[in-house]
Copies of this chain bind each other. A is one copy, B any other.
Amino acid sequence: MSDASSRPVVPQAGVARPGGRTAAVRGSVLSATEDALIEHGFAGIDLSSLARAAGVGKTTIYRRWGTPQCVVADLLDDMAARSVTATRTGNLDADLRANAELVVRTLTHPRQGRLFAALIAASTHDRDTKAALAEFFRRRVEEWSLPIIDAIERGEVPPNTDPIAVVRHLSAPLYYQFLTMTTPLDDLAADRAARATVAAMRAQCFAKSDAAS
């Protein structure tokens, strides 16, 4: 019904999952989890249906994951591991715009957008899912902080800039629009997010010693 190769999760080009039977089972189960989240949201996830959709034994899925929360946490872990690496062209404006455009592309992708919406919704009423989602974003933000660290090393950005805060600020207006408006995201929103972040960074709004200022 669903297989790992059909999964559009911000895939890292050319990086397949490690092979083997265990990996194949995991791939099938995570694909089925993704499908269920997209179609029905978190409430639609139960392990028996996932086992059926993934074509694996019920015992396997209960023994290996145990709860819907654990499957979703594993999906988020897999999504983070398979996501695209940051763009590092040596031009900070271009790198930030590439990040913002990736967020827009992900959230406007018919399956990806619904997947992220379902994951965010799930995390609002389950503490473990919230922690797993926060960890997913932490890893993605850390990856995309690299071009900002590059720019700090080139001396283009104030040295006490918190690169993590910069990346979060860049994503924020895009997720906010996605969740609170019916107007679809577009490249103009990505461009504005990138420009606003650069302006705030140059005005030292993301200084690490914030607390002391």
User: Quick check: is A23 within 8 A (CB to CB) of the other chain?
Assistant: no
A195 CB contact (under 8 Å) in B133, B182, B200: B200
User: Quick check: is A6 within 8 A (CB to CB) of the other chain?
Assistant: no
- Candidate in A120, A205, A211 with the most chain B CB atoms within 10 angstroms: A205
Residue of B nearest to A172 (CB): B176
CB-CB under 8 A from A65, the residues of chain B are none
Q: Which of A66-74, A80-88, A122-130 is the interface stretch?
A: A122-130
Report the separation of the CA atoms of residues A213 and B120 in the bound assembly, to the nearest whole angstrom. Answer: 34
CB-CB under 8 A from A197, the residues of chain B are 200
Are A205 and B179 closer than 8 Å at their CB atoms? no
Are B179 and A124 closer than 8 Å at their CB atoms? yes
Given contacts A169-B196, A200-B196, contact A180 B210 (CB under 8 A): no
User: Quick check: is A202 within 8 A (CB to CB) of the other chain?
Assistant: yes
CB-CB under 8 A from A137, the residues of chain B are 180-181
